[in-house]
Amino acid sequence: MIELLFFFTSLILLGEHEHMESGILLVALIATFAAIHLSQAEDQEGFISLDCGLAPSEASPYIEPDTGLWFSSDSEFIQSGKIGKIDPSLPKTIKSYVTLRYFPDGIRNCYNLSVKQGTNYLMRFTALYGNYDGLNITPKFDLYVGPNFWVTIDLENKISGQSEEIIYIPRSNSLDLCLVKTGATTPMVSSVELRPLANDIYITESGSLKSFKRYYLTSSDTILSYPNDVKDRIWETKFDPEWMQISTTLEANNSNGFLVPQNVLKTAAIPANDTAPFNITEELDFPDDQIYLYLHFSEVQALPIGDFREFDIFWNGQQFDKTIRPEYLKTTTIKSTTPVTCKGGLCNLELIRTTNSILPPLLNAIELYTVVKFPQVETNENDVVAILKIKAQYGLNRITWQGDPCVPQNFLWDGLNCNNTDTSTPPIITYLNLTSNGLEGNIAAAIQNLTHLEKLDLSNNNLTGEVPEFLANMKSLMLINLSKNNLIGLIPQALLDREKEGLQLIVDGEHRCLSGSCVTEKKIPVKTVAFVSSATVMFAFKRKKSSSSKALPLSSIKLGEDVTSTNISEISIEMKRRKFTYSEVMKITKNLARPLGEGGFGVVYHGDINGSQQVAVKLLSQSSTQGYKEFKAEVELLLRVHHINLVSLVGYCDERGHLALIYEYMSNGDLKHHLSGKHDSSVLKWSTRLQIAIDAALGLEYLHIGCRPPMVHRDVKSTNILLGEGFTAKLADFGLSRSFQLGGEYHVSTVVAGTPGYLDPECYRTGRLAELSDVYSFGVVLLEIITNQDVVDQTREKSHIAEWTAFMLNRGDIAGIMDPNLHGDYNSHSAWRKKRPNMFQVVIELKECLTCEMSMKGNGQDMDSQSSPKVSISYDTTDLPSAR
């Protein structure tokens, strides 16, 4: 049409003087075409017509010449994909599309379309392969509407492509249409089209309507769409030899809301034998599908007065509706109000004339739709708007950040965690992790709109500006990590006040004070150091120098530094925990009657205090390779840390060279003992092992994140993971633990210490202490849990457990490394995890594994018989990410 306008205009200019009359005629023609164009534009209000793969510079938008529909490039509606073009050698009859968009990267790629919430839309998706890549391999993939599966696109033997339609009502003003890779082939699309419909014409009890059949009964082969159908429904043709066509040239009244095209209403079919029933039979693709049926009638013959056409409608032998008499040139639509079914997937429509009818039954057109259930609601709309604003502000064009942020769970956006209660409740975002993403600028204001956010990690970026006070108003937030950025200014006092309520706030800096010792300003500079323990317990020791001695507080000795060896008998320790005499220690242990184990520090004995509290007593051996430094380190740490997954200190003994630490008693011994099979119990089940790993990981996470300053354990191993009643696991043996900075440096130099096999090679090589050293050791423990193999075994082809595991996994079967004592009773998915995260991520991953395992087993039935209820409910599955 644009080309015609230019042509007419040029003719007018050429004939301005010599052909004035012709020019006037052409002006009239232009006006006529302009009026037609304006009318079509009005008809297409609300239409979305995307020519996929069309570059914006390639005459976009343009008018499709056969239909007059305006099409535009899809480039503004999707952030991924590549452009392809149909093989030009294909016959023109199947080249209805020239360009396409294909998606070699990522699993889910989504179009995001602006729609009107609550509006009924006819949505059409078309894919024509056309050998665009020269491989002659037709694609197969899934199509999703938002978080719900719609249909599988399989282009095998479909040389003319595949087109799918659905009538769908969006729940918000944004609609995601997602192509999901399901195999080796590459998803692709030729066009995406949306057409708004009246809200009162295609109504279901539940679900959406997937187009199955839509045809009008005519001997013609003309397929109708826009502009014949102003809603751009596509009407195919159908005619049977047992029918006879009747028609009219007059237009019918089609104002019943369905707006059936006039060309459809001008023709009808009747049985060739006017005494026979009128039959149509259709076979469903899926026999159990529910059907919605729409039958369109319009009398095309002017009947003599007194004559009438009357018939009954039957669906699979059951009367479908009341007796009908079609009116002359007036549309009547009979439709389902509830879904119907077809026994064995074979559907039969039968129109039977009544005994009073003069004429046989008539039918103009039929529409059949199958019901598609879309049970999963989209993520909370406010959360979606907020996360999209954050995405836009920071330019986060991750291929995984497409479609719904939270659901389905296997497409959860990287760095997010959501609370999914059930499919009918909108998920909410509870965790946002944008660490190490190169973020620049201020902390996004849209974060405050994630009103249910519990954890926020923006660490290791290039963020500038001040810490916003709105973070303190986010009452769900329990952890904020802003470390390793370029933030300036003061931490809002309201945010510091939130720490007293349990908020973990992690920032960089040089000075940080707590409680009453802080300056009285309302805000404290962001440049602060890691948190100081609220416990004010001080230690002192005496060092004998000639004839005098001097007291020195414990806090003046920095963990990680070497301490000059001294005579232990000349050292006294003062602290708030109960101090026991050596005779009390002997009474508690019944003269060291029951040893529980032995380590580098000395022997551990069982004891009880006043017959009411069982304890474990670690007694320093005079020949111990560990000494006062380790003793002091462990006391100092256990005095200021308190966590359910760290063994707690009951008291100590320091009397004339006798050093002892008294802990809570862990009745089920250590993890290594249980894995060895020497314990008097059955083999630890897989889910129990996962829960033990979670408990230990939570303890380590607390040391790394919850402590101020943070701590590195330095001796994580299976013998230092103790098991209590119900197999609750706790970390023990903190003699080698050291603090490290949380600000600009995440490591300190130290003397290498630990247990061979568990020691991080990087720490051993560099002598630099970091939290990832513990992560490495914990990873070795996880391998022990999974394999029940010795950490170092010289008889194996690969002596170290990590090397052996990698060697076995290269064979491609995880079963080869799993503990044979499990007898295959585990979910293999929960055994595959990613490499070397931090402990916070480890906890999340392990919880996910246990959730996955428990969902397979159901209600914790796989836990060991000795497990207490706490073991199966000690984590919140609503806070866990899905498997990715």
Closest by Cα among 881, 882, 857 to 872: 857
Residue 618 marked as a ligand binder = yes
Please write the tens of the pLDDT for every residue from 481-502.
999 999 998 899 999 999 888 8
Q: What is the mean pLDDT of residues 858-884?
A: 36
Instruction: Indicate the fold that domain 671-879 takes in CATH.
Output: Transferase(Phosphotransferase); domain 1 (1.10.510)
Residues carrying an active site annotation: 715
* Phi, psi dihedrals of residue 433, rounded to the nearest 5°: -120, 105
How is domain 48-197 classified at the CATH fold level? Jelly Rolls (2.60.120)
pLDDT at 527: 31
- In this predicted model, what pLDDT tens digit does every residue of 303-342 receive, in sequence order? 999 899 999 999 999 999 889 999 999 999 999 999 999 9
Predicted pLDDT at 857? 58
- Tell me the residue ranges of DSSP E strands in 258-394: 267-271, 278-283, 291-297, 311-315, 318-324, 332-335, 346-353, 365-372
Burial category of 17 from C-beta neighbours within 10 Å (exposed 0-12, middle 13-18, buried 19 and up):
exposed
pLDDT surpassing 60 at residue 346: yes
Q: Which of 199-208, 371-380, 508-517, 524-533 has the lowest mean pLDDT?
A: 524-533
Helices 686-701, 839-857: crossing angle, 10 deg rounding: 160
CB of 53 within 8 A of CB of 31?
no
Greatest mean pLDDT among 26-40, 148-162, 855-869 lies in 148-162
Q: What is the pLDDT of residue 702?
A: 83
> pLDDT digits over 846-862, tens only?
777 777 666 665 544 44
Q: What integer is the mean pLDDT of 636-657?
A: 81
658-669: string of b/e by CB count within 10 Å (b at 16+)? bbbbbbbbbebb
Domain ranges across the chain:
2-43, 48-197, 209-372, 381-506, 540-664, 671-879
**What b/e string do you get for 589-599 counting C-beta neighbours within 10 Å, with b at 16 or more?**
beeeeeebeeb
| pLDDT, tens digit, 9 for 90 and up, residues 83-127 | 999 999 888 766 578 999 999 999 999 999 999 999 999 999 999
Find the range with the poorest average confidence among 127-131, 637-641, 869-873: 869-873
Question: pLDDT tens across 568-620, in order?
Answer: 333 334 444 578 899 999 999 999 999 988 876 778 999 999 888 999 998 88
Q: What single-letter amino acid sits at 683?
A: V
Quick check: 738 pLDDT over 80? Answer: no
CA distance 362 to 300: 9
Residue pair 127/50 in contact by the 8 Å Cβ criterion: no
Q: What is the mean pLDDT of residues 57-67?
A: 87
Distance of CA 531 to the CA centre of its chain: 33
Q: Which helix (H) or strand (E) covers residue 638, if one does?
A: helix 628-640
Q: Do 209-372 and 48-197 have the same topology in CATH?
A: yes
The predicted structure's pLDDT at residue 577 = 55
Lowest-pLDDT range, 182-196, 509-523, 690-704?
A: 509-523
| 640-657 average pLDDT score | 83
Of 330, 390, 405, 324, the C-alpha closest to 362 is: 324
- Is pLDDT at 544 greater than 60 in this prediction? no
Q: What percent of the chain has pLDDT over 90?
A: 53
Which pLDDT score is estimated for 547?
Answer: 31
The rounded distance, in Å, linking the Cα atoms of 122 and 143 is 16
Q: Does domain 540-664 have CATH number 1.10.490.20?
A: no
**pLDDT confidence of residue 113:** 97
Average pLDDT over residues 148-164: 95
CA-nearest of 337, 367, 331 to 349 is: 367
381-506 — its CATH code?
3.80.10.10
* pLDDT digits 0-9 by tens, 239-289: 999 999 999 999 999 999 999 999 999 999 999 998 999 999 999 999 999
pLDDT at residue number 558: 31
Give which of 502, 466, 498 is closest to 482, Cα–Cα. 466
Query: What CATH number is given for 209-372 in this structure?
Result: 2.60.120
174 Cα distance to chain centroid: 18
Three-state SS letters, 467-489:
CCHHHHHCCCCCEEECCCCCCCC
